[in-house]
């Protein structure tokens, strides 16, 4: 069996001056590769909102570096003033996207570092923030590798897999989550064919997933979202893999709009459905998907984006939710860095994450 290293794009990193965050602008892919250097709170907020940086884990990594950079430039005479401004900036950054729980989780993690250094010199506090941000990034790389290994254990040579949206290296760190097993399969010489949903209306599957898989030499075929049923019916799909932006305690999964529809189709055809994501994406305080806020985005994304001319009249009403919730009853399993959770998911989470479920 051959071993072939797969190249991964660097999507988020700390600037060399430690006074900025450098990101790959995902809105320009696949036709242009451009890196943005961001330093102000407004630039950092906009990068998340405009999806220049996207993918729940990547947003969490970005948040860590962003808050370290912003903290470095806070002018305050005492800790109380510093803390007030830091928490204001943290809340501001958190307002950019309400559904992806990694953003809130990592911001809170960084806030705890501030409070833990209330008596420390300012320089020591700032250094601790940079250390924590780097730890967030390193931990995600390790988690993605483990998720990829567990995910690959669910596949066999010759399988066809359908995926939705983008959960590869540019949405996370190395390997990714839902795409990670495909890169690992490539490295191990396994024959896996991936069907990539285009993922309307922002086309993350077409623009990002097919881009990453093609660049890595992974065998893939791009399809429109409404073609998933026919490839399933034709027996070309043996599993569904998609990521997650927030997982409720009962196993309900919020992911890019269209994920739940894909799961419903797979359920009809008897195809297993797996959501793959790090434990940082599990909201242990959220009892079910009914409690997950769903972001709604501008109508222009449906009517105008990627079109030379508008595809609907200006007065045409639109509904543009960015996410939907896949009911836990439609999921075969949830793949995490500690193993695969099966129904009943709350019981599985209790075994895999006892320290979190006990809180």
Q: What is the pLDDT of residues 46-90, one digit of tens each?
A: 999 999 999 889 999 999 999 999 999 999 999 999 999 999 999
List of E strands, 126-264: 160-163, 193-197, 220-223, 239-242, 246-247, 253-256
**In this structure, are 241 and 303 located in the same domain?**
yes
Residue 3 vs residue 47, higher pLDDT: 47
Question: Annotated catalytic residue: which of 245, 252, 283, 324?
Answer: 245
Q: Which of 119, 143, 167 is the endpoint of a domain?
A: 143
pLDDT exceeds 90 at position 8? no
Q: Taking the CB of residue 296, how many other CB atoms lie within 10 A of it?
A: 13
Note if the bond before 344 is cis, omega within 30 degrees.
yes
**What pLDDT is stored for residue 302 in this prediction?**
97
Helices (H), 14-55: 41-49
pLDDT of residue 51: 92
Residue 37: CATH number of its domain? 1.20.120.420
Residue 69 in tokens? 């950079």
Taking only the tens place, the pLDDT of each residue in 299-308 is: 999 999 999 9
Q: Is 78 a catalytic residue?
A: no
Query: Are residue 46 and residue 32 in the same domain, yes or no?
Result: yes
Residue 3 has pLDDT above 50, yes or no: no
Q: How confident is the model at residue 5 (pLDDT cuts 50, 70, 90)?
A: low
Give the rounded percent of residues in the chain with a pLDDT score beyond 70.
Answer: 98
pTM over 0.85: yes
Domain that holds residue 123: 12-143
- Look over the chain and give the mean of its residue pLDDT values, rounded to a whole number: 95
Residue 1 has pLDDT above 60, yes or no: no
203 & 317 share domain: yes
Query: Do residues 124 and 223 share a domain?
Result: no
* CATH code of the domain in which 344 resides: 3.40.50.10470
Q: Where are the beta strands (DSSP E) in the chain?
A: 12-14, 21-24, 35-38, 160-163, 193-197, 220-223, 239-242, 246-247, 253-256, 273-276, 323-326, 333-336, 339-341
């Amino acid at each position: 069996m051959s071993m072939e290293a797969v190249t991964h794009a660097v999507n988020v990193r700390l600037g060399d001056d430690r006074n900025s965050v450098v990101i790959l602008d995902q809105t320009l892919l696949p036709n242009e590769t451009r890196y943005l250097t961001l330093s102000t709170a407004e630039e950092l907020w906009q990068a998340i909102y405009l999806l220049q940086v996207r993918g729940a884990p990547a947003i969490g990594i970005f948040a860590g570096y962003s808050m370290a950079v912003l903290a470095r430039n806070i002018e305050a005479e005492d800790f109380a003033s510093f803390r007030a401004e830091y928490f204001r900036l943290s809340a501001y950054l958190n307002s950019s996207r309400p559904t992806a729980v990694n953003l809130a989780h990592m911001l809170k993690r960084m806030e705890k570092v501030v409070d833990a250094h209330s008596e420390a010199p300012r320089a020591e506090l700032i250094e601790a923030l940079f250390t924590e941000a780097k730890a967030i990034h390193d931990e995600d790389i390790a988690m993605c590798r483990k998720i990829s290994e567990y995910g690959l254990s669910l596949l066999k040579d010759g399988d066809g897999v359908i995926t939705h949206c983008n959960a590869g290296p540019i949405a996370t760190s190395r390997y990714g989550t839902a795409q990670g097993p495909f890169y690992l399969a490539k490295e191990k010489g396994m024959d896996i064919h991936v069907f990539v949903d285009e993922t309307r209306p922002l086309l993350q599957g077409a623009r990002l997933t097919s881009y990453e898989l093609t660049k890595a030499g992974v065998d893939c075929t791009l399809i429109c979202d409404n073609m998933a049923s026919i490839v399933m019916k034709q027996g070309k799909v043996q599993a569904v893999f998609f990521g997650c932006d927030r997982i409720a305690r009962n196993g309900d999964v919020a992911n890019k709009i269209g994920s739940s529809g894909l799961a419903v189709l797979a359920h009809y055809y008897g195809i297993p459905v797996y959501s793959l994501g790090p434990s940082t994406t599990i909201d242990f305080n959220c009892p079910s998907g009914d409690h997950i806020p769903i972001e709604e985005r501008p109508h222009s994304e449906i009517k105008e984006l990627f079109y030379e001319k508008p595809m609907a009249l200006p007065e045409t009403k639109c509904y543009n939710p960015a996410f939907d919730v896949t009911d836990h009853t439609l999921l075969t399993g949830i793949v995490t860095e500690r193993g695969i959770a099966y129904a009943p998911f709350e019981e599985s989470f209790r075994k895999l994450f006892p320290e979190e479920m006990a809180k």
